[in-house]
Amino acid sequence: MAKVDNMQEHYAIVVGGGTGTRMGSDTPKQFLPLNGIPVAMHAIRAFHNSKYSPQIVVVIPSAQHGYWSELCEKYNFDIPHVVASGGKSRFESVKNGLAAVQLRCTDLSQSLIAVHDAARPLIAPTLIDATFDQAARYGAAALAIQSTNSVRLKSSNGLKNNAYPRQQVYLMQTPQTFNGVILSESYKLDEDNAFTDDASVVEKKGYPITLVDGDTRNIKITFPEDLRIAAILSGTYSGCTPDDTQ
């Protein structure tokens, strides 16, 4: 794939600062093997293979920085990246990753920053490229897929539910990619329970979000069965190939 040379600086913050409670494993899910290498390494490699070759910041809980170094050595993982410390929430982890980007970036207004869950190993480089392209045009772009199930909305007291037009419902994925000024201004907001992804933070700051077609295979590893599903999907998806099998 030809690499692109333009005036903008491209960055990726891969957030792997969580503990993976729902996975129920002592080892956080981002370090568990998928097709022979840790889940997070698949995500990092996809960014490395993006035509924009972003500089990569990987957010890891500070207690596991040594473990991450050991994993990189064990798997001969030599994709250049900087390690930042995880926070108590995803919001805090992104903030820490952003601080690491800001230390390196010469002009935030000329930068594009993609934020991606380390727990989404099957992301395809072409989708990463698409979010960089749309963020360059519109400032804020996030992957999303339409619901294929019918949708009902519950009332706030939970007593009633009503059918809702599913064509208006989008399920958010990552990466979510932003102009550097937009992302850094937005992450100065106080943390809020309503912030479930980066788009919700940026939107609260007043910026519109452009939706980019995601892929149902870009799953987030959340529960144990997701690792098995990812292993099956990886055989059919360019983001992660069976060549990774150990």
Ligand X SMILES: C[C@](O)(CO)[C@H](O)COP(=O)(O)O
Binding site partner of 9, from ligand X, ligand CTP, none, Cβ cut-off 5-8 A by kind: none
Q: Does 117 sit near ligand X (CB under 6 A)?
A: yes
Distance, CA of 184 to CA of 108 (rounded, Å) = 9
Closest residue by Cα to residue 98 from 214, 190, 183: 183
State the number of binding residues for ligand X (CB under 6 A). Answer: 8
Distance, CA of 191 to CA of 90 (rounded, Å) = 10
Q: Does 204 sit near ligand X (CB under 6 A)?
A: no
CB of 24 to ligand CTP, least distance (A): 9
Q: Does 177 sit near ligand X (CB under 6 A)?
A: no
Q: Does 90 sit near ligand X (CB under 6 A)?
A: yes
Please answer whether residues 183 and 210 qualify as being in contact, where contact means their C-beta atoms are separated by less than 8 angstroms.
no
Q: Does 173 sit near ligand X (CB under 6 A)?
A: yes
Closest residue to ligand X using C-beta atoms: 197
Residue 125 DSSP class: H
Binding site partner of 196, from ligand CTP, ligand X, none, Cβ cut-off 5-8 A by kind: ligand X
Element (H, E) at 99: helix 90-104
Q: Does 220 sit near ligand X (CB under 6 A)?
A: yes
Neighbours of 2 (CB within 10 A): 5
CB of 6 to ligand X, least distance (A): 28
Chain contacts with ligand CTP (rule: CB under 6 A) = 15-22, 30, 59, 86-90, 93, 117-119, 220, 222
CB of 228 to ligand CTP, least distance (A): 17
Q: Does 197 sit near ligand X (CB under 6 A)?
A: yes
Show the binding pattern over residues 130-169: x = contacts ligand X (CB under 6 A), - = does not: ----------------------------------------
* Torsion, CA 67, CA 69, CA 73, CA 74, rounded to 10: 20
Closest residue by Cα to residue 182 from 91, 113, 100: 113
Distance, CA of 6 to CA of 129 (rounded, Å) = 14
CB of 196 to ligand X, least distance (A): 4
Element (H, E) at 144: strand 140-146
Please answer whether residues 79 and 123 qualify as being in contact, where contact means their C-beta atoms are separated by less than 8 angstroms.
no
Q: Name the residues that contact ligand X, by CB under 6 A.
A: 90, 117, 172-174, 196-197, 220
